[in-house]
Structure 1
């Protein structure tokens, strides 16, 4: 996936936008790639904007993604498409601020199609959990959206990075072992804390084919950066 890659664009919402701060998954991914592939002069552009849903990302897609001509594009979209549907007292998630599943599918499919048309390699990232309670209505609804992402990835022959599995495993083990119900990987149930961002980073790098040994070799240099 990374052979010949010089420019990476990471498209997303607040999790991506804020992920460029120290210890964030965008920040860490950039440094890992630069340390692992110094001869490629990899530039990583953060195209995350807080609050964005698939409709918002598609509206700015030409300027923020296609015009950058990325060799590699990661697409992170879905949390707000689902979560905002619960706003303003809509406990079933069917409120007007959410994006219906069929519209979401079309929006993401169009993003992937347009990126591939200009020769960009695409990686689709699953949505992360909406609160650290996998039995809630938000995550139940999000399951269909993540399923749609997986189907789109399969049809377009691009990698799909499943964040649900590691988050579910780690949070589940934490709660079973300690009995604690507080947040383990997020600050507020949605936005990542440093541990959550590390999970995101290593899951993504693994999906890109970077071995644990290669990551471990450069991680001390990554973490000492400011």
Structure 2
């Protein structure tokens, strides 16, 4: 189905933080007594770096050598995985494109009854992502989720450059995948002084208000380019606009509870915007 075939504009911004249905859905899930093993979140997330089919039996113990890949090796690996998806043409294919936040999305938390192709690379920037979008040119996804930008800010890339690259990313995806829904996701906040990430000083040089302003401009780009904007920022921000410490492992990256919040935003988006597949 074409991106433009909906009866409402696909650019229409769904304010997910203010959407009562989303808040209710997330609240209900978070109130349940989920028990997550915090001992090794990276190992539990490793399978998300591969083409994930519900019938897949890949072992997450392969994290070791994969975790030590350099950037070019990652690009080559993701290209091979995209080629597999292009050959198999799985039904209900969805793509995650971005940096480590996408890369480490636990496969067991990704919405089910979909086939997920994870094209995230740790440390990725908007320019890097733009330069490798052709890796999955031959795939036929129903939707492509993009989250990129925080590493640009850490590397002191200007807002104008980040936004220009975001616009080029969207235009490329719309041209190459005209039948796919394109979802631009907001840049998440960081935990400011509560962060324990090794690059904490670099985070402190990036006020979260700058990220909020950048997201507002990103929302405008999504509207202008006729794609969907998913505002995740309010779901992760505390009263001061910083990342909630209970949702992050180090003030920058997400822990399982953080991914649970993101998952439920995707579930609500799927129900109201993407083609329904009776997700549970």
Instruction: Please report the TM-score for the alignment, with normalisation by the length of structure 2.
Output: 0.56
How far the C-alpha of 1:138 sits from its partner, in A, is 2.9
> Whole-Å Cα distance in 1 between the matches of residues 244 and 279 of structure 2?
33
Q: CA deviation at 1:56?
A: 0.9
User: Match for residue 239 of structure 2?
Assistant: 172
Which residue of 185, 189, 207 maps to 1:138?
A: 207
- Asked whether 1:13 is paired with 2:99, we answer yes
Q: Specify whether residues 186 and 107 from structure 1 end up closer, same or farther in structure 2 by C-alpha distance, changes over 3 A only.
A: same
Quote the Cα distance in structure 2 between the aligned partners of 1:45 and 1:209: 20
Q: Which residue of 2 aligns with 1:81?
A: 152
User: Corresponding residue for 1:185?
Assistant: 247
Residue 199 of structure 1: how far off its partner (Å): 0.6
Matched, 1:59 2:131: yes
Do 2:191 and 2:244's aligned partners in 1 also have CA atoms closer than 8 Å?
no
Compared CA separation, residues 172 and 74, structure 1 to 2 (3 A) = same
Q: 1:208 aligns with which of 270, 277, 280?
A: 270
| Cα distance in 2 between the residues matched to 1:67 and 1:81 | 28
Structure 1 contact 76–127 (Cα < 8 Å) conserved? yes
Question: Alignment partner of 2:182: what SS?
Answer: strand
Q: How does 1:113-128 map to 2 (within 5 A)?
A: 113-118=171-176, 119=178, 120-128=180-188
User: What does residue 169 of structure 2 align with?
Assistant: 111
CA contact (8 A) 2:130 2:165 kept: yes
8 A Cα contact 1:53 1:99, kept in partner: no
Q: 1:217 to 1:57 in 2, by over 3 A?
A: closer
Q: How many residues align?
A: 179
Distance 1:113 1:217 in 2: 29
| 1:176-195 deviation per Cα after TM superposition (whole angstroms, max 9, x unaligned) | xxxxx982110101111111
Question: 1:155 is matched with which residue: 208, 220, 224?
Answer: 224
Q: Does structure 2 conserve the Cα–Cα contact (< 8 Å) formed by 1:128 and 1:164? A: yes
Contact 1:112 1:122 in 2 (8 A): yes
Match in the other structure for 1:199: 261
Q: Is the CA contact (8 Å cut-off) linking 2:94 and 2:143 kept in structure 1?
A: yes
- TM-score (normalised: structure 1): 0.68
Following superposition, the deviation at residue 43 of structure 1 comes to: 2.1
CA distance in 2, matches of 1:160, 1:217: 21
Give ranges in structure 2 of 5+ residues lacking alignment.
7-90, 195-203
